[in-house]
Amino acid sequence: MSIYGIRNKAVLGAAFFIFIVLAMSIPAQTQPSRDQALIAAAGRGDLAAVQKSLRDGAGVTARDGRGRTALLAATHGNHVEIARLLIAAGADVNAKDNIEDTPYLYAGAEGRDEILKLTLAAGADLKSTNRYGGTALIPAAHHGHPETVKILLATTIDKDHVNRLGWTALLEAVVLGDGGPLHTEIVRLLVAAGANVNIVDREKVTPLAHARRRGYNAMARILEAAGGR
């Protein structure tokens, strides 16, 4: 073999050695990075990426910097199929983030009805409360989600729970509602379900008195018919 052939072999051998060393120095994806990839994919609604992250061993209990699990991130985006997949993989529907939201509580508050149903089927804690001390029913009433209210009223949730602001779901539907058809329907649903129409707020004002003050006549009629004072 000529000196040139020997040189070429040496150069190739050295190049191969350098390639191996470099390849070995590139770390495999760590568990934290896999977990964060799962949460990010869930938040943006990328089902294929969520499936891949789960196959790669990402954990459904992992949290991001806001304390959110992948399931809560999916709930924020109303990504139903991803939520379904994560719950089937063991995600906790009652895991709280840094501001005391859970997938169940957030779904209830924001009218994510399909995800709410999934969380209820997976053991949602009906007694759990948000940062205001309210059950899922209270913000559902406040935000004007009658279908969500209907779903929650079909459970054993406390219809008369009082939050840290001193309000029940019925009070919030009146005080924080706009008096329009959605909030009026919520008042009707709560009254029909047996909510106490005479629980007062911190100023001792009843739902009916609030409705009258605001000129919410349709609400007032419902409350009057139910014995409101």
Domains parsed from the chain with CATH numbers = 29-125 (1.25.40.20), 126-229 (1.25.40.20)
pLDDT in tens, 169-203: 999 999 999 999 999 999 999 999 999 999 999 99
CA–CA separation, 216 and 19 (whole Å): 76
Given this model, what pLDDT does residue 31 score? Answer: 80
Given this model, what pLDDT does residue 29 score? Answer: 61
pTM of the model: 0.85
CA–CA separation, 139 and 192 (whole Å): 19
Phi, psi dihedral angles at 103 (to 5 degrees)? -55, -40
pLDDT in tens, 150-162: 999 999 999 999 9
Cα Rg, the chain, nearest whole Å: 27
For 3, the token pair is 């000196």
pLDDT in tens, 7-21: 445 444 444 444 343
